[in-house]
Amino acid sequence: MVSPAIALAFIPFVVSLLIRYRHYFLLFYRAVLVRWLRDYLTGITKEERAFQYIMTHAIPGDPLHILETFDQWSYHCEYLCNLGPQKAKILERLIYEKAPLTVLELGTYCGYATILMAQSLPLGARLYSVEMNPCKAAVAEKVIRLAGFDDDTVELIIGSSEEVIPLLKEKHGLFQADFVFMDHWKRCYLRDLQLLEAHDLLPKGATILADNIICPGAPHFLQYVKACGKYKWRIHRTSLEYFRGIRDGMAQITYTGLP
């Protein structure tokens, strides 16, 4: 048995861990434990619960109000790994600055970033969004249409990015993407960037914005971008969506077409 003296000696250490990593414990509680409990009690996914909230509280046809309602849900009800308001400002500013006519989004999730980009696009632009999970894609489809964007503006493609990217030209008519937003599995960032290169889908000057490059991180992607000589890059320092105490960042890279 552990003596009381030894047990007491560990208390300051445990308390210090709890204080230092309190944001991560809270994230685990909100993102995992609460979700498991409510999934069990309601029989539907948290994304479907969020959509029910959107239907009840958001104004149809008002993209900004729908995004604000998503934020309210994520702050006060259940955690969703949407883009969140802090990162949304970076993405929105880049869309306005670059004014891309063709946008490729990898990882639709619930359609938060999709709506943000769609309402910022210039007239005549088209957004192609890829989501591999059919259940999440079904929620995103309803949210995107609720915001007022039809298939002429936003085409939702269901499938894994590895399978979809090689077919973008032939099957979906996307010959080159002026702007790419990556917010899917972080381990796929490097693979998919190289797929975009291999299939000549990046024109010179194309912008790629990759989310969550610090938390949970995409080290191989960043290493490649910095070392290959094909890109100019910068890091936007942010916090994790809806958690100001957890550091994160977005990588903005520009394709130079070299070497």
Q: Do 112 and 228 share a structural domain?
A: yes
Q: Do 103 and 35 share a structural domain?
A: no
Q: Do 248 and 147 share a structural domain?
A: yes
Q: Do 167 and 227 share a structural domain?
A: yes
Q: Do 231 and 210 share a structural domain?
A: yes
Q: Do 206 and 91 share a structural domain?
A: yes
Domain closes at, from 56, 76, 96: 76
Q: Tell me if residue 204 is catalytic.
A: no
48, 141, 192, 241: the active-site residue: 241
211, 226, 232, 248: the active-site residue: 211
Q: Tell me if residue 87 is catalytic.
A: no
pLDDT digits (tens, 9 = 90+) for 113-141: 999 999 999 999 999 999 999 999 999 99
Q: Tell me if residue 152 is catalytic.
A: no
Q: Do 222 and 103 share a structural domain?
A: yes
Q: Do 189 and 140 share a structural domain?
A: yes
Q: Do 155 and 184 share a structural domain?
A: yes
What is the rounded distance in angstroms from the CA atom of residue 235 to the CA atom of residue 214? 10
pLDDT at 19: 62
Q: Do 69 and 171 share a structural domain?
A: no
Are the C-beta atoms of residues 74 and 82 closer than 8 Å to each other?
yes
Which pair of structure tokens corresponds to residue 26?
Answer: 């809270």
Q: Do 134 and 46 share a structural domain?
A: no
46, 82, 136, 212: the active-site residue: 212
- Name the amino acid, one letter, at 62: D
186, 226, 230, 248: the active-site residue: 186
47, 48, 141, 183: the active-site residue: 183
Domain that holds residue 179: 84-255
Angle between helices 189-198 and 219-227 (to 10 degrees): 40
Q: Tell me if residue 241 is catalytic.
A: yes
Q: Tell me if residue 248 is catalytic.
A: no
- Whether the pTM exceeds 0.95: the reply is no
pLDDT digits (tens, 9 = 90+) for 185-235: 999 999 999 999 999 999 999 999 999 999 999 999 999 999 999 999 999
Count structural domains, the chain.
2
pLDDT digits (tens, 9 = 90+) for 20-52: 666 677 788 788 888 899 888 999 999 999 999
| pLDDT for 2 beyond 50 | no
What is the rounded distance in angstroms from the CA atom of residue 238 to the CA atom of residue 69? 21
CA distances (Å), origin 170, targets 78, 101, 149:
40, 19, 24
pLDDT digits (tens, 9 = 90+) for 221-255: 999 999 999 999 999 999 999 988 889 999 999 99
Higher pLDDT, 1 or 158: 158
Q: Do 150 and 237 share a structural domain?
A: yes
